[in-house]
Amino acid sequence: MTRRPTIADVARTAGVSPSTASVVFSGKTPVSDATRERVRAAAASLGYAGPDPLAASLRRGRSGIVGVVFEEHLGAAFLDPVKTLMMDGLADAVAPLGAGLLLLRDEALTENAPTLSTAPIDAAVLIGCSGLLRDSLELVRARGLPVVVVEGDAGDGVPRILLDNREAQRQAADHLRRLGHRSVAILTLPLDAGRRRGWVPADAEIAIDVTRERLAGARDVFPDAVAYAAAGSFIDEGLAAGRVLFADPANRPTAVIAQSDLLAAGVVRAAEEAGLRVPADVSITGFDGVQVDGLAPYELTTLVQAAAEKGRAAGAAIAAMLEDREPASILLTCTFREGSTTGPVPS
């Protein structure tokens, strides 16, 4: 015979019933050592590698897979250290459930690409910036799957994992104000999926929650601060923006509030390039508290967010829903950390 052996074949050659064989593999019911051995031997002799996951999943009604939905290209998502850490925490949190992570994109570009509606997932985690994931949310709710939204605009009844972006950013701004800074520029993350670089008009519509909230926090303290939007969270974007911010020596901010550590690192570099000392001539704050590779010897003044914890919280919420418990929305708080990139305003 050419087809792969099934558990029934194993049971037959072992001289036991299918259910007994099944139990040997699942271990959910005690089995006598003798029969277990016989079943094992039969399996080995047939080259049976264990129960078919697909069939087992159907029977159980669980696939052991959690879908993670990104809005962007996968490569882009993992360029962001915060997302990477988050995935790490998420992976840890779902592992005890016996679940793995399936990478999914929000919009299926290819014709028959796998989507939320065709993938055998038990639950979904939406990683959200803008409202694009609205459709994904619909899809997954239609299927009655548990869903958690991380840093995004969920709807009614969907647990969310959030950060106190506004309050946290306000702390950094307060810190700068206490140091005497009055001329402050804000370097923001992208405003929307368009990711255009440039000055942010006062009346700008900001589609991405994180950007909007952090900007609001900074403006709580410095209502008139100018804002410049980067096209992404990269050191080189921060560098480019920093060049713009420091272009006019006569009209230069004494402090820059960057909305991410990577951006801040770029601004530090731009300052060096412009012959400015950090923090003697200009103070710079970041956001995230990630390890910026290559920034040494500077230590950024920043808001440390528990990125991995975000993933773990999402995983915990998923676990709760899978066990029919009430999931909790979670608000994680950032911790202000003073580094070596902020100091008193130059006199």
CB of 64 to DNA, least distance (A): 12
Q: Quote the CA–CA distance of 154 and 177 in Å, as a whole number.
A: 34
Task: Using the minimum distance from each CB to a copy of itself, give the nearer residue, 236 or 281.
Answer: 236
Neighbours of 101 (CB within 10 A): 18
61 class by beta-carbon count within 10 Å (0-12 exposed, 13-18 middle, 19+ buried): exposed
Cβ atoms within 10 Å of 234's Cβ, excluding its own: 17
Bridging pattern class, strands 302-304 and 335-337? antiparallel
Regarding 2 and contact with DNA (CB under 7 A), the answer is no
CA distance 284 to 6: 64
* Selected binder of a copy of itself within 23, 235, 245, 271 (CB under 8 A): 235
Q: Which stretch binds DNA (CB under 7 A): 32-40, 64-72, 151-159, 248-256?
A: 32-40
- Cβ neighbours, 10 Å, residue 304: 17
| 37-76 positions binding a copy of itself, by CB under 8 A | 47, 49-50, 53-58, 61, 63-65, 67, 73-75
Quick one: 28 or 347, whose CB is closer to DNA? 28
H-state helical runs in 4-80: 7-14, 18-26, 33-46, 53-60, 74-77
Q: Quick one: 6 or 171, whose CB is closer to DNA? A: 6
114 binds, among DNA, a copy of itself, none (CB under 5 to 8 A by kind): a copy of itself
**Nearer to a copy of itself among residue 215 and residue 241 (C-beta):** 241
Tokens linked to 337: 């950390």
Q: Which residues bind a copy of itself (CB under 8 A)?
A: 4, 47, 49-50, 53-58, 61, 63-65, 67, 73-75, 78-79, 81, 84-85, 87-88, 91, 95-96, 98-105, 108-114, 117-121, 139, 142-144, 234-236, 239, 262, 265-266, 269, 293-296, 308
